[in-house]
Structure 1
Amino acid sequence: MNIFQTMEASTPTLPKKYKQMNADELTYRIRNIKEAMGGKLFLPGHHYQKDEVISFADVRGDSLKLAQMSASQQEAEAIVFCGVHFMAETADILTREDQEVYLPDMRAGCSMADMADFAQTEKAWEKLMSKFNDTIVPLTYVNSTAAIKAFVGKHGGATVTSSNAEKMMKWAFNHKERILFLPDQHLGRNTAYKLGIPLKEMAVWDPIKEELVYEGDVNDIKVILWKGHCSVHENFTVANIHQVRKKHPSMKVIVHPECRREVVKLSDEAGSTNYIIDTIAQSSPGSSWAIGTEMNLVNRIIRQHPDQHIISLNPNMCPCLTMNRIDLPHLTWSLESIAEGKPVNRIQVDKGTAHDANKALKRMLYNA
C-alpha cells in the first residue's frame, strides 16, 4: 500500500447510514446527545465553519480562543472540535489529561500548516544556523502543527496569533537579531513591514529547494519568512481591490493579514478575524465594506448586518475546503460514537511534543 492507502485504511470512515439521513434527522440526533450529555460535552466552533455546524457550537472564535475555552471547561470530558486538525491539537495540548479531544472528520486539515513539516524545519534550521550562527529566534503562527510548535518551543521561540504577531515580533527582537517566521510568509511580511522593517531586509526560505531567497546583502536580513501561505487568503488580489474601487468608490476594504503584502497595502483596514468582525459590528448603519476573508464568515457577517452594504472582496471566492469537511453527518457520527462509548477520531499529541509546544504557547501568553 502507498502512503495514501495506508492513511485511509487506518482512519475510520463515515458509516453509510449517516450519509442517508436528512438534515432534520441529523439535527434531532445532535440535539438529543447535547441535551443528554450536558456539561460533559463541549463543542467549540471556528468562525469559518458552515452555518449548519456553527449553530451547535457552545462557543465561537478563532483557534487559540477555542482551545483556551476548551481548557477552561471544568466539567467537560469530551471536546468535539469543529475546526481543523491543528486547532484540535492545540486544544489537546492545553486541556487536562482526563479530557479527550475529537475531530469529526480527520480529513479536516490545513494546507498552510502542512506547508511546514518537522523534517523540513530541522533541515532549514541547521542551514540557517550555519549561515547566521546563533542569531535567530523562531516564531510560529498558531496555524501550525503541534510538531512545529514543539520545534519552536524547544529552540526558545514562541507562537503568535494574527492579533498579537506585532507584539511577539518585538519580543523576539529583544532576544535575537533575526526571526524565522513559520509557516505563513504573508502574515510575517505584513507584520514586519508594519514594524518598519523594509522588504529588502526580509528573505524567504524555500523548503522545497532548501534555499534562502533574498535581494541585497545577506547580512542585512532581519526576518526569514517560511514559504507558506493560506490557500484562501492568497486568492484575494490587487485586481479585486481595483474592481471594488471602480464599482463602489466609497466602499472600504478590510482584509486579513494572511493576504499578500500588496493587497494589505491597498486596503483601508487589515486585521485578525476578530478585528474584522468587531470593526464591522462597530460601523455605522449605511457603511459599506468589501471583506477579504473566508466566505462562510463573510456571508454570516452580511446576514448579521443588513443595515450595511457588505460584499466579499473576491466574488468568486469559495469557502475553506478543509473547514467544510466538518458537516452534520460527521458531527452526528462523532457525537453518537462518544455517547455509545466507542469514540472515533481522537486527537492525541504525545507528551514530549505537547511539553515543548506548550513552552511556545506559554511564552506567547505571558509576553503578548
Structure 2
Amino acid sequence: MTTSLTPSVNQAMQTTETCNNDLKQGPWFLDLPGMPGTYGPGASQDDSAPSHTPKQQVLPKDYQQASDEELHARIRAAKKTLGDRVVILGHFYQRDEVIQHADFVGDSFQLARAAKTRPEAEAIVFCGVHFMAETADLLSTDQQAVILPNLAAGCSMADMADLDSVEECWEQLTDLYGPYGDETIIPVTYMNSSAALKGFVGRHGGIVCTSSNARAVLEWAFERGQRVLFFPDQHLGRNTAKAMGISLDQMPLWNPNKPLGGNTEEDLHNAKVLLWHGFCSVHKRFTVAQIDKARADYPGVQVIVHPESPMAVVDAADSSGSTDFIVKAIDAAPAGTTFAIGTEINLVQRLAAQHPEHTIFCLDPVICPCSTMYRIHPGYLAWVLEELVSGNTINQITVSEDVAEPARIALERMLSVVPPAESTK
C-alpha cells in the first residue's frame, strides 16, 4: 500500500514541543558503542530497561546519510525485486515514513494473522516491536523468516513481566491456594508479552488476550478457575474486570519485588483478579485533566481512550477500546465530529490526516511517541530489504520450539474465544 499523509511525528517534532529533543535525531545514535541499554527517547525513556535488552548493530553509514527520498526509492526498488518473496507489516503506531511501504497495517495480532495470508512469502518484515515479531514467528511456517528491522525495538511493558518473576509469583500463589480444586488460578497474559510468557500460560492452562477480547478471555478463565493472574498490564486488567462488575478490593496489585506481591494472605484469598505491576508508558501519560481541558476547549468533543490508560481516564472518557475500535469509531462517525484520542501519537496524526471531515487531536499536548516503535526508521527497513536482495537474512527473530509449542496452545485458546462487540465503557 502507498499513502500520502501529513507529516509524521518524526517530522512534526521539528517545530512542536516534544518530551525529548533526542527524538529529532536518527535512532541509530542509540546503537553506538558505549551507549547505555535504554529504550531511548519517548514515552518509555524513564523506564528501567533490563540488562538483556537487545542491542542493534550500528546501521551502516550509507543508510544513515541517505536522504529520505533516496531511502524511499531504495525500499521501493528492493520490494519490487523481491516481489512475493517478502511481506512488510506495519503497526498502527509506526511513523508514516515506514507505514507507506507496508503491505498490511494493523495491531500486533491483526498483522500476525495477515502474514498467514502470504504463505508464499519467504520473509516477513515486521515493522513493530520484539514481542510482535515473536508472535508472527509462532504463527508463520517453518519456511518463513521473521525479520525485525531494529533488534532494539523492544517494549517496556512486556519487559515488566519476565519469566523468572512470573514463575516465582506462580510458586507463591500455588503454595497459598493449592494447584487444584476450587482454588485454581488461571494465568492470562496480554498479547504485549514475550513468547516465553505465552508459553508459560500455555503450560499452566492459561490463555492470551488482546485489548479487544480481554473481557471474553476473562470470562473464559472464570469458567475454569476461581481467580485470574493477569499480566503484564495492570490497567487493561483493571478496566476490563471493573466493567465485568468485579470490585477494586478484589483486584490486588502484585509487585514482583515483594513477598506475596506486597499483599496479605487475606487480600489474596479475597482476590478475583491479581494484577501485575506493569503498564504502558504511552497510555499512562493520559490524564483526567487533559479530558477536562478537551471538553472545555471543544464542547461536544468525543473522547476515546485505549484501555491501557489508567482507570480514572477510562471512566472519564466517552468510550474506550482497542486501536482497531478507535479506528472503526472514527470511520463510522458523522462528518464534523470532534475527537480527542488517548493513544499513540502516530496513529492519532494518521487518523487526522485520513479524516479531514473531522477534527481529531491527541489528548496529550506533548508529542511523546512510543520509544521503541521510534527505533524503526526507513534506514533500517531499506537495510534489511537490500540484504534480502543480496541473499542475506539479518535480524531474524526465532522462537525455540520448546517455547513455541505451549505458546501456540495459548494462542489457539484465544482464537477459540469469540468476543462480543467491544464495550463502549
Question: Is residue 146 of structure 2 the alignment partner of residue 101 of structure 1?
Answer: yes
Counterpart residue number, 1:23: 68
Matched residues in 1 for 2:278 and 2:203: separation? 21
CA contact (8 A) 1:200 1:214 kept: no
Alignment partners' CA distance in 2, 1:112 and 1:140: 12
Quick one: distance in 1 between partners of 2:53 and 2:389?
24
| 1:82 alignment partner in structure 2 | 127
The residue number in structure 2 matching 1:345 is 395
Describe the SS at the equivalent of 1:60: strand
Which secondary structure state, in structure 2, belongs to the residue aligned with residue 43 of structure 1? strand
Normalised by the length of structure 2, the TM-score is 0.83
> In structure 2, how many angstroms separate the alpha carbons of the residues matched to 1:217 and 1:183?
20
CA gap of 1:7–1:138, structure 2 versus 1, over 3 A, is closer
Provide closer, same or farther for how the CA distance between residues 7 and 198 of structure 1 changes in structure 2, counting only shifts above 3 A: closer
Per the alignment, in what secondary structure is the counterpart of residue 212 of structure 1? helix
Give the CA deviation at 1:213: 4.4
Match of 1:249 in 2: 299
- Does 2:223 match 1:174? yes
AA aligned opposite 2:232: P
Amino acid at match of 2:60: P
Residues 1:229 and 2:279 are matched in the alignment? yes
| Aligned-residue RMSD, C-alpha | 2.0
1:42 corresponds to:
87
Say if 1:181 and 1:20 are closer, same or farther in 2 by CA, change over 3 A: same
> In the alignment, is the contact (CA less than 8 A) between 1:202 and 1:214 conserved in 2?
no
Aligned partners of 1:140, 1:203: CA distance in 2, in Å?
17
CA distance in 1, matches of 2:363, 2:287: 9
Q: Please give the alpha-carbon distance, in whole angstroms, between the structure 2 residues aligned to 1:331 and 1:72.
A: 22
The one-letter amino acid of 2:109's match is L
Find the counterpart in structure 1 of residue 384 from structure 2: 334
> 1:308 and 2:358 equivalent?
yes
1:141-156 matches, within 5 Å, as 141-156=190-205
Q: How many residues align?
A: 368
1:319 match: secondary structure? coil
Mean Cα displacement is larger for which, 231-240 or 6-15?
A: 6-15
**Percent identity for Structure 1 against Structure 2:** 48
AA of the residue aligned to 2:77: N
Note the residue ranges of structure 1 that are not aligned, 5 or more in a row: none
- Give the Cα separation in 2 of the matches to 1:170 and 1:237: 29
- State the one-letter code of the partner of 2:304: I
Q: CA 1:19–1:210 in 2, change beyond 3 Å: closer, same or farther?
A: farther
Runs (4 or more) in structure 1 with deviation over 6 Å come to 5-10
Structure 2: unaligned runs, 5 residues or longer: 1-32, 39-50, 419-425
What are the residue-to-residue correspondences of 1:1-368 with 2, within 5 Å? 11-134=56-179, 135-213=184-262, 217-368=267-418
Q: What TM-score does the superposition give when structure 1 sets the normalisation length?
A: 0.96
Give the secondary structure class of the aligned counterpart of 1:211: helix
CA distance in 2, matches of 1:22, 1:350: 38
Instruction: Please give the alpha-carbon distance, in whole angstroms, between the structure 1 residues aligned to 2:117 and 2:198.
Output: 21
CA contact (8 A) 2:54 2:151 kept: no
Query: CA separation in 2, counterparts of 1:171 and 1:213?
Result: 28
Shift of 1:209: 2.5
Task: State the Cα distance separating 1:91 from its structure 2 match.
Answer: 0.3
Q: Which residue identity lines up with residue 139 of structure 1 in the other structure? A: V
